[in-house]
């Protein structure tokens, strides 16, 4: 066999082995870290923050100021900033807001989730907001950014300006959709503060807490697209919980792990819970289990 071919085969095998070792090391560190966290705190997640909205006090704080990637919880700021810009333009959520070609191409390259809106379909802004928050549609998030500010980079700059205005000192955004880029970070405490301030807005509250929604009926989707809030639906599996899930948003990337921001009611009081950095390997619900555990300790 030609020496060059032999050398090529050897190098290819070496590269594959090296990549395998790197991946296994990454997974081991994440899972090992998760086990270490649980042994120290009793929870699956790296950072947990529970805020009592009714009494204006912190109920639980575990590493809430640690800067971490937050995945699709980024869309909570995208929602807030897009609402502000829409109003500044004199528009309403019933006005036409189409999914853009640029956003769809970007999301497909990144293998993000889309609910099914097609390029230039006659959707309105309501459709984009609900798809983004209820089912984490990346094309909806990026389309809002482009429609509001002309391009994604300009919108992200405005997101960071808004973060400063809200006092989110430990937050920096790189994208409207939360797909991981080096340099982006936030904290559980900052996400909770963002949500606390944003939920005072009636339209934001409605978007965040709507359980089910049917999008605009179009030629391509004559019956509309049925959407449901992922968080509210997921918590229905917890039959014995003693609190009500009012609204919420999931997040996930390999770098961030699983995260969640949720609004709950218990014994006449309302709470915001933010959980970041869950790499629990015992199933898909480690971050949700942490929500239940935290709430079970409150007002027993």
Contact 229, 211 (CB under 8 A): yes
**Among 271, 267, 249, residue whose Cα is nearest residue 258:** 249
As a whole number of angstroms, the distance between CA 137 and CA 131 comes to: 5
Q: Is 40 a catalytic residue?
A: no
Q: Is 228 a catalytic residue?
A: no
Out of 75, 198, 215, 258, pick the active-site residue.
Answer: 75
The answer on whether 249 is annotated among ligand-binding residues is yes
SS (H, E, C) the chain: CCHHHHHHHHHHHHHHHHHHHHHHHHHHHHHHHHHHHHHHHCCCEEEEEEEECCCCEEEEEECCCCCECCHHHHHHHHHHHHHHHHHHCCCCCCCECCCCHHHHHHHHHCCCCCCCCCCCCCCEHHHHHHHHHHHCCHHHHHHHHHHHHCCHHHHHHHHHHHHHHCCCCCCECCCCCCCCCCCCEECHHHHHHHHHHHCCCHHHHHHHHCCEEECCCCCCCCCCCEEECHHHHHHHHCCCCCCEEEEEEEEEECCCEEEEEEEEEECCEEEEEEEEEECCCCCCCHHHHHHHHHHHCCCC
Contact 155, 176 (CB under 8 A): yes
Out of 45, 47, 64, 72, pick the active-site residue.
Answer: 72
Q: Is 136 a catalytic residue?
A: yes
Out of 45, 47, 64, 136, pick the active-site residue.
Answer: 136
Binding residues: 249
Catalytic residue ranges: 72, 75, 136
Annotated binding site for substrate: 249
């Amino acid at each position: 066999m030609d020496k060059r071919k032999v050398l090529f085969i050897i190098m290819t095998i070496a590269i594959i082995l090296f990549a395998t070792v790197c991946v296994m090391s990454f997974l081991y560190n994440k899972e090992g870290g998760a086990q270490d966290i649980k042994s120290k705190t009793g929870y699956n997640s790296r950072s947990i923050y529970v805020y009592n909205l009714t009494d204006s006090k912190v109920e639980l704080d575990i590493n809430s100021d640690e800067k971490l990637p937050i995945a699709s919880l980024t869309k909570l700021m995208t929602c807030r900033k897009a609402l502000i810009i829409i109003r500044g333009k004199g528009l309403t959520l019933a006005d036409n807001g189409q999914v853009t070609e640029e956003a769809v191409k970007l999301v497909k390259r990144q293998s993000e989730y889309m609910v099914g809106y097609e390029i230039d379909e006659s959707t309105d802004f309501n459709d984009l907001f609900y798809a983004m928050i209820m089912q984490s549609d990346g094309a909806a998030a990026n389309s809002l950014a482009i429609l509001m500010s002309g391009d994604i980079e300009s919108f992200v700059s405005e997101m960071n300006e808004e973060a400063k205005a809200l006092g989110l000192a430990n937050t920096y955004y790189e994208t409207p959709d939360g797909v991981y880029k080096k340099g982006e970070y936030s904290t559980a405490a900052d996400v909770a503060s963002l949500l606390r301030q944003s939920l005072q807005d009636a339209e934001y509250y409605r978007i965040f807490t709507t359980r089910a929604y049917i999008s605009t009926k179009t030629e391509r989707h004559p019956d509309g697209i049925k959407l449901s809030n992922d968080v509210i639906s997921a918590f229905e599996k917890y039959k014995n919980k003693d609190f009500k899930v009012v609204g919420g948003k999931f997040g996930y990337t390999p770098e961030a792990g699983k995260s969640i921001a949720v609004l709950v009611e218990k014994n006449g009081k309302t709470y915001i819970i933010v959980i970041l950095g869950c790499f629990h390997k015992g199933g898909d619900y480690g971050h949700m289990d942490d929500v239940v555990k935290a709430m079970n300790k409150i007002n027993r």
